[in-house]
Amino acid sequence: MKANEIQNKLNQLYDQNLLDEAYQFLLQETQKAMDQEDDLLVLMLLSELIGYYRVTAQFQYGNTIAQQAMKIVGSKGLEKTIHGATTYLNIATLYRVQGKFQEALELYKKTEIIYKDLLSEKDERYPAFYNNFSLLYQEMGNYQQALDYALKALKMIAKLDNCEIEQAITYTNLSQMYFSLNDISNGKKCLKKAIDLFENYGSQDPHYFAALSALAHGYYLEGNYKKAVLLYDEVLVGIESVFGKNKDYQTVLSNKRKVEKLLNEPIKGLDICQKYYEVYGKKLIDEKFKDYQRYMAIGLFGFGSDCLGYDDKISQDHDFGPGFCIWLPENIYKEIGKKLQEEYDQLPQEFMGLRRIQSYHGAGRVGVFSIEDYFKQFLYKIPSTLEEWLYADENALLACTNGRIFDDYYGEVTKIRKKLSYYPEDIRIKKIVRAIAKMAQSGQYNYARCMKRHDEVAASLALNEFVDQTLSVIYLLNKKYKPYYKWSFYGLKDCLILNDISDCLHQLILLPSQIQHWHNHTSVVNTDDEKIVIIEKICQRVIMELHHQSLTSHFDDFLDNHTINMMNLIQDKTIREKHIMEG
C-alpha cells in the first residue's frame, strides 16, 4: 500500500475507535515496508507507531522505535529534510510527554531550522509544530516563551483553510499560557473557542479532552470547585470511551481528586477574598491603573467574622463572599477613586460559587477607599497619646488590625496597622487592673451576695459580668484585642496563655441554678455552690499568671487586693493616677 492509502486506512480505524486493529495494521504494514526496503515508508510508519505508543503511554516501546527511526534518518542522509523534521517532531513530542525536556528541546530546534529552510509560512505543518514547541516551554516553566510560540501558531493558522482542529489546539495551548500568567478570564475565553471548534469538527480528537480538562482547571483556579469536578467527570468518561484508562485518564483523575478534597474543606472568607483579588483584582489594576499601583494597598480588614477568620457556614448568610478593599492616599483617591470604584463594580459578582450578600449595615466593607476615611470608620483618630490609647474602643482597634493585607505597594496602611497592633504597656496594665477589679466585684463578691438574697436574676447578671471580665483579662494577658461578645469565648482557641480557663468558663455557664444551696446558708463563702468553687479556681489561675508576668507580688486570694500594687507599675504619672475603674 502507498503512504496515502495507509494514512487513510489508519484514519478510518481511529475514527471508529478501533485502536487494536490500527496497531496490528501498523505492525503489518511496517513489516511489509521493511521487507521491500522502502526506507521512507518505514520512517513514516515508525512515526505513526511512536504516536500510538505516546497516546497509549507505552513509552518503553516508543523510545525503542524512536532509536530505530533516528538510525534510518542518519544512515539515509535525511537529517536536513522534511522527512527528518517529521521524525524529529514526533520523537520530541514523545520525549516531552515523558518529561525529557532537554532532549525534546534539541529536536524541536532542529525541526524549526529545517522548516524555516524548506517550508512556506503558509504550510499547515507550522502551526502544529509551534503548538508542540509552546507546550514544551510551558512544561519547562518558561511561560513567556510558551505564549510567544502559541501566538505564532495562531497567527499562521489564520492564513490557512480547513484547519479548525489546529486552531482549536492552539486556543487550548494559549489558555494555559494565560492561566500561568494569572489571566483566568482570557484563558477561559480561549478554551470556549477551542471547545466549540472541537465539538463541530473533531469531538473524538484527544486534544478535545485536553481542552475540557483545561477548562475544568480554569474553574478550579477561579475556586468554582463544583463545576471543575463535574467537568473532570465528563472528561474521564470521554477519555475512557476512546482511549481507555491511559496516562491522560490517570492525570485527570488525580486532578479531580485534588479538587474534590478542596470541595470538602471549609471555605474561609479571607481566602476567598484573596483569591478573588488574585484572579480579578490584580488584572484590573495591571491593565487599567498600573501607573497608580505604587500608591495602593489591597486587602480586607474591619468588622465581620471573616476578618477574624472565625467564619463558618452560618456566617455566609450576610456580608460574606468575594470582595476586597483598595486603599489610596487622599489626593490619589480624589483623582481616581470614583473611576476605580466603577471598574471594581464591574468585576464578576460570582466567584467560587458564591455571591457577596450585603446586609443593610454591611455597606462600605469592600471597595475603594481613602486610607484616612477608612480608618475613621473605626477610630475618630489614630491614638498618639496614652490617654487617647486608654479611651480608644477595643473593637475598633481589633477591626483596624485584623484581616489580611494582600499587597501594600505604598506602605502607609501597613505602617498604621503596625502602630495599632497592641496597647502600650502602661495602658495594658491599666486595663488589666480594671478587669480584675470587676472580676472581684462581680464574681468573688456580688454573685454570692445576690444568691444570699435569693435574687437569681441579679446573680446571673453578676456571673455574666464575671465571665466577660475574665475573658478581657485572658486577652490582655495574651496581648491580644478581645473580639466582641459573640466571638470572645470562641477566640480563646488562639490564646496560648490561660487557655485552660475556657473549660472552667464553659462549665460555669452550663451549671444549673445553685439556689438549693443557699436556703439555710448565712456565710458569703459558700463552697456548696459549685459556681463559687469554679469562680475561685479561675481567680487563682489569673493570680498565678499575674505573678508569672511580674505584674503582682501579692498572694492574696481576692483579686481586688492586687490592683493598687499593679497600678504602681504604671510609668506614666497621669495614667497611674487614674481611678482603677477608668478606661
d(CA 435, CA 581): 8
522 has a pLDDT exceeding 70: no
Q: At 543, list the grid cell.
A: 493570680
- Under the banding of pLDDT at 50, 70 and 90, the label for residue 196 is very high
Per the DSSP assignment, residues forming a β-bridge with 24 are none
318 beta partners: none
* pLDDT of res. 248: 86
- Say how far apart CA 208 and CA 191 lie, in whole Å: 10
Res. 354: pLDDT tops 80:
no
* Tens of pLDDT, residues 62-117: 899 899 889 988 888 988 999 889 899 989 999 999 989 999 999 999 999 999 99
Of all residues in the chain, what percent carry a pLDDT higher than 90?
Answer: 51
pLDDT band at 361 (very low <50, low <70, confident <90, very high): low
**Chain centroid to CA 546: how far?**
41
Q: So what's the pLDDT on residue 408?
A: 95
In the predicted structure, residue 9 carries a pLDDT above the cut 90: no
Has residue 524 got a pLDDT over 70? no
pLDDT at res. 340? 96
- Which candidate, 89, 95, 109, 179, places its Cα nearest to that of 143? 179
**Of the segments 28-37, 220-229, 263-272, 532-541, which one has the largest average pLDDT value?**
532-541
- pLDDT for 470 beyond 90: yes
Task: State the amino acid at position 116 in one-letter form.
Answer: K
What pLDDT is attached to residue 434? Answer: 97
Average pLDDT of the chain is: 89
CA distance 351 to 355: 7
User: What secondary structure letter does DSSP report for 350?
Assistant: E
pLDDT of residue 439: 97
Tell me the pLDDT tens digit for each residue of 134-175: 888 888 888 888 888 888 888 888 888 888 888 888 899 889
Q: Give the DSSP H or E segment for 42.
A: helix 39-55
Q: Give the model's pLDDT for residue 360.
A: 56
Cell numbers describing residue 308: 477574624
Grade residue 532 by pLDDT with cuts at 50, 70 and 90. Answer: very high
Count CB atoms within 10 A of the CB of residue 350: 12
The answer to whether 182 and 220 are in contact (CB under 8 A) is no
In the block, cell 468553687 appears at: 533
Chain position carrying cell 490500527 = 22
pLDDT attached to residue 313: 75
Across the beta sheet with 404-408, the strand order is 367-370, 325-328, 297-300, 404-408
The angle subtended at Cα 540 by Cα 534 and Cα 542, nearest 5°, is 105
The fold of the 1-119 domain, in CATH, is: 1.25.40
Q: For the chain, what is the radius of gyration of the CA atoms?
A: 35
Task: For CA atoms 236, 241, 243, 245, give the dihedral sign.
Answer: positive
Q: How far is CA 484 from CA 276, 362, 471, 476, 557, in A?
A: 28, 17, 11, 14, 29
pLDDT of residue 317: 58
Q: Is the pLDDT of residue 531 over 90?
A: yes
Choose the weakest-confidence range: 62-71, 188-197, 312-321: 312-321
Question: Which region, left, alpha or beta, applies to residue 304 given φ > 0 means left and ψ of -120 to 50 means alpha?
Answer: left
pLDDT tier at 363 (50, 70, 90 boundaries)? low
Distance CA 520, CA 528 (A): 11
Looking at the predicted structure, is the pLDDT value of residue 319 above 70? Answer: no
Question: Binning pLDDT at 50, 70 and 90, where does residue 545 land?
Answer: very high
Burial category of 394 from C-beta neighbours within 10 Å (exposed 0-12, middle 13-18, buried 19 and up): middle
Highest mean pLDDT among 24-28, 228-232, 259-263, 330-334: 330-334
Cell reading at 275: 483569591
% residues pLDDT > 70 (the chain): 97
Distance from CA of residue 296 to its chain's centroid?
21
Q: Which residues contact 375 (CB under 8 A, 6 or more apart)?
A: 382, 400, 416
In this structure, of 95-109, 179-193, 409-423, 432-446, the range with the lowest mean pLDDT score is 179-193
Q: What is the pLDDT of residue 576?
A: 94
Q: Model confidence over 24-73: pLDDT tens digits?
A: 888 888 788 787 888 788 788 888 888 888 888 888 888 998 998 899 88
Cα(236)–Cα(379) distance, rounded to whole angstroms? 55
pLDDT of residue 541: 93
From residue 571, give the alpha-carbon distance in Å to each of 268, 351, 383, 568, 577: 42, 52, 18, 8, 10
Residue 507 has pLDDT above 80, yes or no: yes
**Lookup result for grid cell 514547541:** 133
Mean pLDDT along residues 125-141: 86
Beta strand 325-328 with 367-370 is parallel
229-238 contacts, C-beta under 8 A, 24 or more apart: 229/256, 229/259, 229/260, 229/263, 232/256, 232/259, 235/209, 238/208, 238/209, 238/212
Query: With contact defined as beta carbons under 8 Å apart, do 292 and 339 qualify?
Result: no
Contacts 24+ apart (CB under 8 A), 76-83: 76/39, 78/43, 80/114, 80/117, 81/114, 81/118, 82/114, 82/118, 82/119, 83/40, 83/43, 83/44
Q: What are phi and psi of 407, to 5 degrees?
A: -150, 140
- pLDDT value for 106: 93
Highest mean pLDDT among 21-25, 284-288, 522-526: 284-288
Q: For residue 46, what are the contacts with CB-CB under 8 A and spacing of at least 6?
A: 30, 65, 68, 69, 72, 87
